[in-house]
């Protein structure tokens, strides 16, 4: 089987972590006799430096003509520290999501047995935690119009906009995931304050008539933020809007003990993009110290969701679990005995190929 993969390393540690995920995919090629064709594109600050655009047309065309996209990270300090910059790397990420129709962002959150001690939360709270956040990714305040600043610069505004069709599309996806898991869906909103949240709640209530076998509950986002810390075992699938999902999944990373372990999949109309949930960590650029496991696990999600290669995805997850059990981890997980980025990727690849 031959499949094409667009590789977008991006900024900061992106090239380093993507390199290791690609190494693992090559190991899967060899073990299972597949053929993956990798083609690299540019995005973010790197793309701005080359052509002035954070998501060039060439990169868009590449993504549209490949079976899946493996993406690293976006962000650069020179833009973070310049509030007046007219073109920003993050605009490339938003443009990619919109133009590729990446409406459903899947972020699994689970407690990893060998790393429970690394979480700041008490062991009994997080043992056995395993839930999925389904985040709407192409609507809401990140994309709503109008937006901008007043001429005097002393007032700024953003619009939070959703349609019934957008809400129904992402909620149907969440109901389907819940139906195939433990049949419980938690819809997170702020319906006591926001008109968009009330539309979310009404739409999901109506859609629930088609999924009566799934238990449905609603939870305000502030309560959800507290419950993820106090009682995360109660969740199975969470569905929420764009900004709420962004914040809640970063918060939930404390359950794993490191944000460097959380992968994600953005399922789209045209193609799908797989990336770690962490940022570009520009301070660590080029130092070979970044944790590549979230990106490697994102590659596993790519195999599962875009290619239907479930056994191959399971093989990567097993190799990652074994690396954690063996203490083959980066400095974020072990202050004393740790390995660098490329050593982690090599170990996981060697395990897959039976070379250890």
Q: Give the separation between CA 232 and CA 333, rounded to whole angstroms.
A: 22
If asked whether residues 283 and 256 sit together in one domain, one would say no
Q: Give the separation between CA 313 and CA 228, rounded to whole angstroms.
A: 27
Distances from the Cα of 142 to the Cαs of 99, 138, 168, 215, in angstroms? Answer: 14, 8, 19, 30
Q: Give the separation between CA 289 and CA 338, rounded to whole angstroms.
A: 9
Choosing from 11, 189, 246, 332, the catalytic residue is 246
Domain end position, chosen among 267, 294, 323: 267
236 is catalytic: no
If asked whether residues 142 and 277 sit together in one domain, one would say no
- Residue 167's pLDDT is 98
* Total domains present in the chain: 2
Residues 165 and 199 sit within 8 Å (Cβ to Cβ): no
Domain end position, chosen among 245, 267, 289: 267
- Residue 336's pLDDT is 87
Which residues on adjacent β-strands are paired with residue 73? 10
- 44's CB contacts (< 8 A; 6+ apart) are 10, 11, 14, 54, 73, 74, 75, 76, 89, 92, 93, 280
Domain end position, chosen among 267, 299, 321: 267
* Tokens representing residue 98 in the block: 């919109």
Choosing from 162, 190, 274, 351, the catalytic residue is 190
Give the H or E element holding residue 216.
strand 215-220
If asked whether residues 120 and 67 sit together in one domain, one would say no
If asked whether residues 126 and 183 sit together in one domain, one would say yes
Coil, helix or strand at residue 230: helix
Q: Are strands 156-157 and 184-189 parallel, antiparallel or unpaired?
A: unpaired
- Residue 259's pLDDT is 84
173 φ/ψ angles, rounded to the nearest 5 degrees: -60, -45
Q: Is 249 exposed, middle or buried (0-12, 13-18, 19+ CB in 10 A)?
A: buried
* Tokens representing residue 123 in the block: 């062991």
If asked whether residues 259 and 116 sit together in one domain, one would say yes
- 355's CB contacts (< 8 A; 6+ apart) are none
User: For the chain, which residues score pLDDT lower than 50?
Assistant: none
If asked whether residues 109 and 220 sit together in one domain, one would say yes
- Residue 115's pLDDT is 82
Q: 160-165 long-range contacts, Cβ below 8 Å, gap at least 24?
A: 160/194, 160/196, 160/243, 161/196, 162/136, 162/196, 162/199, 162/200, 162/241, 163/139, 164/199, 164/203
Residues 9 and 280 sit within 8 Å (Cβ to Cβ): no
If asked whether residues 204 and 118 sit together in one domain, one would say yes
Choosing from 80, 250, 321, 350, the catalytic residue is 250
- Residue 246's pLDDT is 92
* Tokens representing residue 338 in the block: 């740790």
The candidate with the shortest Cα–Cα distance to 239, out of 258, 259, 218, is: 218
If asked whether residues 244 and 187 sit together in one domain, one would say yes
CATH number, domain of 14, equals: 3.40.718.10
Place of tokens 């045209």: 270
If asked whether residues 65 and 184 sit together in one domain, one would say no
- Residue 211's pLDDT is 98
- What pTM was computed for the model? 0.90
* Tokens representing residue 275 in the block: 């990336």
If asked whether residues 263 and 276 sit together in one domain, one would say no
Cis status of the peptide bond prior to 146, with omega within 30 of 0? yes
262 φ/ψ angles, rounded to the nearest 5 degrees: -105, 115
Rg for the chain (alpha carbons), in Å? 20
Residues 64 and 271 sit within 8 Å (Cβ to Cβ): yes
**Residue ranges making up the domain that contains 137:** 103-267
Which residues on adjacent β-strands are paired with residue 159? none
Choosing from 49, 222, 314, 355, the catalytic residue is 222
* Tokens representing residue 246 in the block: 């962004």
Cα torsion at 108, 113, 116, 118 (round to 10°)?
A: -90
* Tokens representing residue 355 in the block: 């070379």
Choosing from 3, 79, 103, 142, the catalytic residue is 142
Region label for 12, one of left (φ > 0), alpha (ψ between -120 and 50) or beta (otherwise):
left
53-76 as b/e: b if 16+ CB within 10 A = bbbbeebbebbeebbbbbbbbbbb
If asked whether residues 120 and 259 sit together in one domain, one would say yes
86 is catalytic: no
Coil, helix or strand at residue 287: coil
190 is catalytic: yes
If asked whether residues 145 and 209 sit together in one domain, one would say yes
């Amino acid at each position: 089987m031959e499949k094409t993969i667009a590789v977008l390393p991006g900024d900061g540690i992106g090239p380093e972590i993507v390199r290791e995920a690609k190494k693992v995919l090559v190991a899967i090629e060899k073990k299972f006799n597949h053929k993956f064709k990798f083609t690299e594109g540019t995005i973010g600050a790197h793309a701005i430096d080359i052509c002035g655009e954070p998501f060039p047309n060439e990169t868009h065309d590449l993504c549209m003509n490949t079976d899946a996209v493996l993406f690293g990270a976006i962000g650069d300090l020179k833009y973070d520290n310049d509030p007046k910059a007219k073109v920003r790397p993050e605009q490339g990420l938003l443009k990619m999501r919109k133009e590729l129709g990446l409406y459903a962002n899947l972020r699994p959150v689970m407690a990893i047995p060998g790393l429970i001690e690394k979480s700041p939360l008490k062991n009994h709270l997080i043992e056995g935690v395993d839930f999925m956040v389904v985040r709407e990714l192409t609507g809401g305040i990140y994309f709503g119009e109008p937006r901008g600043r007043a001429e005097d610069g002393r007032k700024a505004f953003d619009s939070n906009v959703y349609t019934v069709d957008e809400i129904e599309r992402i909620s149907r996806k969440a109901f389907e995931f819940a139906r195939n898991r433990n049949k419980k869906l938690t819809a997170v909103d702020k319906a006591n304050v926001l008109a968009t949240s009330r539309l979310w709640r009404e739409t999901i209530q109506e859609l629930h008539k088609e999924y009566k076998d799934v238990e449905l509950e609603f939870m305000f986002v502030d309560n959800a933020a507290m419950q993820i810390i106090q009682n995360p075992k109660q969740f199975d699938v969470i569905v929420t809007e764009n900004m709420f999902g962004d914040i809640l999944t970063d918060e939930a990373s404390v359950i794993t003990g490191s944000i460097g372990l959380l992968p994600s999949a953005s399922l789209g109309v045209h193609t799908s993009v797989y990336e770690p949930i962490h940022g570009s960590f520009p301070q660590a650029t080029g130092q070979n110290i970044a944790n590549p496991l979230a990106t490697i696990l994102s590659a596993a999600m790519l195999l599962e969701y875009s290619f239907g290669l479930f056994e191959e995805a399971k093989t990567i997850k097993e190799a990652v679990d074994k690396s954690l059990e063996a203490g083959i981890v980066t400095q974020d997980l072990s202050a004393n005995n740790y390995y660098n980025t490329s050593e982690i990727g090599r170990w996981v690849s060697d395990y897959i190929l039976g070379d250890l």
